[in-house]
Amino acid sequence: MVSNKALIIVGDAAETLDTLYPHLRLQEDGFVPVVAAPEKRLYQMVMHEVRPGWTITREWEGYQIQADIAFRDVREQDYAGVFFSGGRAPEYIRDDPDLIRIAQHFFDAGKPIASVCHGVEIPARADRVRGRRMSCVRKCRFDLEVCGGIFVDEPCVVDGNLVSGRTWHDHGHVMREWLRMLRQQRDAVKSAA
């Protein structure tokens, strides 16, 4: 039986739109978003944008989000898919051994995975991007390529069970494909039952 729950991976400084848009879209399609983080507590999100005249990303405080579960308590088999949010959070949480275990499970099990912006830093650290085509924010291209991934500068890249995009601007494309995968998986299980 396939779960109707999907993980959204966050930490402090997760990008607000990278997190809230998938959270809401999952609910619209009948899935239950479950926010997972290093600890079960309230997290501060941020908003990122490169403004005209700036050559670096500017950051503002965004909304806060409550983590439903700590990484150490996640039972991967209970979830249909995973979404790796962007922002600065992935850089700080990517070494968590439980998060690495979670990421590896979804890749190894072939379940639907989505990653946007800096989210690539988590599967890269989990050694699951080798030979995979992915899109991510340009400043993370090195992280992807040094770990064996193939950078593609497009709004949405689908490589097997993996959907990726550059920034929150690409969410419409990324979420359409990721949700299609989640629905197909759910429908296939219902048909087999």
- Where does residue 141 rank: exposed (0-12), middle (13-18), buried (19+ CB within 10 A)? middle
- Where does residue 48 rank: exposed (0-12), middle (13-18), buried (19+ CB within 10 A)? buried
Helix (H) or strand (E) holding 20: helix 16-28
Q: What is the pLDDT of residue 1?
A: 59
Residue 96 gets the label, from left (phi > 0), alpha (psi -120 to 50) or beta, of: beta
Distance of CA 127 to the CA centre of its chain: 15
Coil/strand/helix, residue 3: coil
Q: What is the pLDDT of residues 92-139, one digit of tens each?
A: 999 999 999 999 999 999 999 999 999 999 999 999 999 999 999 999
Coil/strand/helix, residue 1: coil
- Where does residue 76 rank: exposed (0-12), middle (13-18), buried (19+ CB within 10 A)? middle
Long-range CB contact pairs, 125-128, < 8 A, 24+: 125/94, 125/95, 125/100, 126/94, 126/99, 126/100, 128/103, 128/104
Q: What is the pLDDT of residue 60?
A: 86
Instruction: Give the separation between CA 124 and CA 175, rounded to whole angstroms.
Output: 21
Question: What torsion, rounded to 10 degrees, do the Cα atoms 169, 175, 176, 179 define?
Answer: 180
Q: Parse the chain into domains and list their residue ranges.
A: 5-192
The pTM of this model reads: 0.95
At the second CATH level, the architecture of 5-192 is 3-Layer(aba) Sandwich (3.40)
- CA quadruple 23, 25, 28, 33: dihedral positive or negative? negative
Query: DSSP string of 121-165?
Result: HHHHHTT--TT-EE---GGGHHHHHHTT-EE--SS-EEETTEEEE
Q: What is the pLDDT of residue 63?
A: 95
- Is residue 40 within 8 Å of 75, Cβ to Cβ? no
Give the chain's residues under pLDDT 50: none
